[in-house]
Structure 1
Amino acid sequence: MERYAEVLNYAIPFFLLLLLIEGLAAWLMGRKVIRSMDTLSSLSSGLTNAIKDVLGLTFVIVSYGWMVDRIAIIHIEADWMVYLLAFIGIDFAGYWNHRLAHKVNYFWNHHIIHHSSEEFNLACALRQSISNFFTIFAFLMIPTALLGIPAEVIAVLAPLHLFAQYWYHTRLIGKMGFLEKIIVTPSHHRVHHAINDIYLDKNLSQVFIIWDKLFGTFQEELEDVPPVYGVKRPSRSWNPVVINFYHLWQLIKDAWHTSSLTAKLKIWFMPTGWRPDDVRERYPLPSIQDVFAYKKYNPKSSKWLHIWSWIQFLFTFALMMYLFNNFAAIGFPNVLIYGLFLIFCIFSYCTLMDRSHHAWWVALIKAVLASFLIFYQGDWFLLDTVINGGSLIVAIYFVLDFVISAGFVRYEFLAARFPRFTPLPYHK
């Protein structure tokens, strides 16, 4: 976990730099591919995923190392061959893991966050899951395990394979000639993120597009069918915590409401979107039918709410980087407490971004928890040893956050209900 936190110290600035380059390029090209709140939601999702991964909050049913020790038939000696086969093996397993996520109700909950953005840009690549409580990925690595490829090699290549999937989340790069036949390109992945019927559940490959062509899931991007992005049953929220779990919550409710015992069990393993007949009739769910008539989620917010939301993100980001750079010193279980608190912080300010009337008391709970942690420990997780008066700065911020959040709820969100409140000017 500590080593992964060190890796993120280098990866995160690189990702943010590419985001800035994409934004600048879009501006120079006169194209709008970024919306403030959508981008902030994507970045916030990236924070939740980074925190979860660093804390190691995913239960591994079977580890790859355990499997290699027991089923390896041969052991390849040549270094270059080991790394080449390992990368191909990871990509092959990634294709099938991705395909399961799109085809099975329960596993879709692990992946829905990544498709939840109604834009397509580098920021949406950072929408990664915190709802995958366990992983079966090692089972899909049986081919490499049979070849005896060491777990250490997989551990080195797996993050690189993941990071290699970042660059093609963009609308600014067109088709790339002969590379379209070899690797996943932005054009291929625009198809994958689209909800047009012809594009749905296509182009599931992660690095090499060959898997889609071999297994019948390839679809070229068509000039006369512009992709429309998102999911068929949108969450209508900026909150990554809500987005991560709303499909799971729907499955739980459907399993509870159906009168069929068989349906209560099979709903989890049926194709994505399947619902029991009796539940579908009694509790219909809205779904996007005409993708070109659909209006994107975009609640009107004042420019001050946009500014304050970005300030909250930056402060939370700073607190996260402090955690990553002081992981060993803070120690367990304090790193777990710290990480979970940060996820709650993200939930809090995204509740405000959604213009929820509950945002004020969520911010109040956050301020009370922060104050308790400082009082109980004597400082903010050793921050005073790094910055003189650091704990006081943290305490003042969270109290100020509550006051400002309550102000937005009273003077902006309630303005539509009660004319005596003067609304703030809206900003798109």
Structure 2
Amino acid sequence: MNTQEIIITWATPVFFALIALELLVAKLRGRSVYHSSDAINSLGLGVISQIVAVFSKLLTLGIYAWCVQRFALFALPANSVWVWISALLLYDFCYYWLHRAGHEVNILWAAHVVHHQSEDYNLSTALRQTGSGVLLGWLFYLPMAIVGYPLEVFVVVALIDLLYQFWVHTELVGRLGWFDRVFCSPSNHRAHHAVNDRYLDRNYGGILIVWDRLFGTFIEEDDTDPPIYGTRSPLRSWNPLWANAEVYWATAKDAWHARRWRDKLLVWLKPPGWRPADVAERFPKPAFDIQRERFLPQLSRGLTVYGLVQFALLLGMAVQFLDLAKQVPATTLVAYAVFLVLSLTALGALTEARRIGIGLELARLFATAAMPLLTGGWFGVPQLDARVVAAMVAVQALSALVLGWLVLSAAGRSNAEKPIHG
């Protein structure tokens, strides 16, 4: 197990412990900072980002290692303290510009938007990560390779920068005085996630907020204008595939409809929200309304609990997937990845209270039971103990019965509430 995997292994249970602590503190303070469907969606997107990383890190880290080998100006030693400290500072500086570009260049926003879609702001939002950031994000860190920072140093400081940012995603930590003036803090990052006019596209720093102060993008949180979270083009869905694709799709449509070839290119490179004049005229979009009603389809308590339990089971499968990543053939890994992504998509449709969600969820339960029943194995495990197979099938069958009962109960209550006309 390499250093990166060790850090992630130790960090994951800490993340969930802190989420539980945040829930407890919020309850003691009489505040509601979590909505179950939103949290499931955010955590599910985090799972998908980790699934994608299994396939993409070989490419991105390979490019970095190749650049260090071919173009490094200096042979920096990995056993030097100053190399590590300077690497962390340079990484954070590069992150600032990647993050800023992610808000100012539409094709980069198409990836980064995933992190901003939640209308809640809590520790689960920190884990809401893109699955497509790998496409271009690596370009911003090539200066570190050219300077000569070893791959192992780059990987660890990248994780440190990312892990640091977890704790700043909370509404329960207030102002921190001098700390807010130097570091990215909960107060500073709340402003970053807000869609209010005063906060828009500010506070990009990962660890240090000093970069924002140097380059004119800093804004202080104002108690008279509380942050409102989300994006100016609300996602209004719990579908993780659509969450990753929505801006790419909208931009591709605008590029297709644009009459000038120049505009077909610029729509990808201009800031988010920019549209060619002819496209905006023929296909207008509603104006942004900061007082819009938030997306929160109503689920019964039973379906809410059901969704949380099923997500917990899928999370366990995702952990197994990550554990198998280096041990199974690529075809098996791809098949397992597709299964997990489609499963999270089915669960998303169910938590949207859509009728199709019931059918998709039942199909998911059937597929999850059918595989061990028909093959005697599971992804990466060719032969399971018969008792394990029986347990897996029983869990899916029980889940289907519970889901059916919950749906019928909800339908019965709905019919009972309808007025009777005689």
**Given the two structures, how large is their TM-score scaled by the length of structure 1?**
0.88
Cα deviation, residue 273, structure 1: 1.2
How many residues are paired up?
417
How many angstroms apart in 2 are the aligned matches of 1:253 and 1:330? 39
Matched, 1:346 2:347: no
Contact preservation (8 Å) 1:352, 1:359: yes
The amino acid that maps onto 1:296 is R
1:265-288, Cα deviation, whole Å (9 max, x unpaired): 221111111122222222222343
Matched, 1:307 2:305: yes
Cα deviation, residue 26, structure 1: 1.4
Contact preservation (8 Å) 2:33, 2:121: yes
Higher helix share: 2
Listed as ranges, the matches of 1:14-413 within 5 Å are 14-56=14-56, 60=60, 63-77=63-77, 79-132=80-133, 134-137=135-138, 139-289=139-289, 291=290, 293-367=291-365, 369-370=367-368, 373-374=371-372, 377-381=375-379, 388-399=386-397, 401=399, 412=410
How many angstroms apart in 2 are the aligned matches of 1:155 and 1:161? 10
Q: Percent identity?
A: 32
Contact preservation (8 Å) 2:117, 2:231: yes
1:172-228, Cα deviation, whole Å (9 max, x unpaired): 111111111211011100000000001000001110111111111110111211111
How many angstroms apart in 2 are the aligned matches of 1:363 and 1:202? 40
How many angstroms apart in 2 are the aligned matches of 1:36 and 1:130? 22
Cα deviation, residue 106, structure 1: 1.2
Which range moved further: 5-14 or 382-391? 382-391
**Given the two structures, how large is their TM-score scaled by the length of structure 2?**
0.89
Which range moved further: 141-150 or 185-194? 141-150
The amino acid that maps onto 1:269 is L
How many angstroms apart in 2 are the aligned matches of 1:400 and 1:361? 16
Cα deviation, residue 164, structure 1: 0.9
Cα deviation, residue 133, structure 1: 5.1
Contact preservation (8 Å) 2:61, 2:151: no
Contact preservation (8 Å) 2:376, 2:384: no
The amino acid that maps onto 2:235 is S
Note the aligned Cα RMSD (angstroms): 2.8
How many angstroms apart in 1 are the aligned matches of 2:252 and 2:395? 37
How many angstroms apart in 1 are the aligned matches of 2:366 and 2:3? 32
Distance change (3 Å), C-alpha of 1:341 and 1:151 = same
SS at match of 1:56: helix
Unaligned runs of 5+ in 1: none
Listed as ranges, the matches of 1:409-420 within 5 Å are 412=410
1:299-349, Cα deviation, whole Å (9 max, x unpaired): 221111101111110110121222233444444321221122111111111
SS at match of 1:389: helix
Unaligned runs of 5+ in 2: none
How many angstroms apart in 2 are the aligned matches of 1:132 and 1:376? 38
The amino acid that maps onto 1:362 is L
How many angstroms apart in 2 are the aligned matches of 1:165 and 1:341? 30
Contact preservation (8 Å) 2:376, 2:383: no
Cα deviation, residue 353, structure 1: 0.3
1:69-91, Cα deviation, whole Å (9 max, x unpaired): 23322334470111011111111
Contact preservation (8 Å) 2:4, 2:159: no
